[in-house]
Amino acid sequence: MSAETFLAALNGVRRTGNGRWLARCPAHADKSPSLSIRECDDGRVLLNCFAGCQFQEIVAASGVSLDELFPPKTLGGDYKPPERRPVHAEDALKTSAHELTTGFLILQDAAEHFRAAGFLDDELGSFGLSRAIVQRLFECAVNVSRVVEMATGRAVNVASEARHIRNSAQLRQEELEQAEPA
Ligand SMILES: [Zn+2]
């Protein structure tokens, strides 16, 4: 993103330092310049509206297209700067619980597979698939769900989350099988 392109679309621009400007935020009725613009050494431009407008809102209101702000790099192929957006802690925690539960199911399936092939729990332990180890991962998911409960007052039920993941995996598998040409 080039700061120049963006600054040209703003009103009340005032340079406040090296690679730093203040301007009137286009995303809200801004009387005193409350949008700070900072150009980093790597060309990224950081925006901060003191009234709390979000990056996307500010860019949209400026009328500058994202393509202009993030010109495709001539070197480095399809490089896109990582998109940064605010994430709610609740969503992050629920995602962690979900991912841990998925990991637990994967280990559990692997352990069942080996158990069915005649391996004993001791042997399974030597490659990290004993009942205790698999159970430990389940507990990890439960622990994260407790943090979810502390933060939101509502716990994630790990057992029903596990059932839900199993069911959706089953559905996906059936869809894949149906999609295969006979
Ligand atoms: Zn604003």
Considering the entire predicted model, what is its pTM?
A: 0.50
Distance from residue 50's CA to the centre of ligand 1 (Å): 7
pLDDT, one tens digit for every residue, the chain (182 residues): 578 888 999 999 999 988 899 999 999 999 889 999 998 777 778 899 999 999 889 998 998 887 776 655 544 556 666 777 787 888 888 889 999 999 999 999 999 999 999 999 889 999 889 999 999 999 999 999 998 888 888 878 999 989 988 888 887 777 778 777 65
Distance from residue 81's CA to the centre of ligand 1 (Å): 23
| Token couple for 28 | 């809200």
Distance from residue 51's CA to the centre of ligand 1 (Å): 5
Burial of 3 (0-12, 13-18, 19+ CB in 10 A): buried
What distance in Å separates the CA atoms of residue 21 and residue 16, rounded to the nearest whole number?
5
Distance from residue 20's CA to the centre of ligand 1 (Å): 17
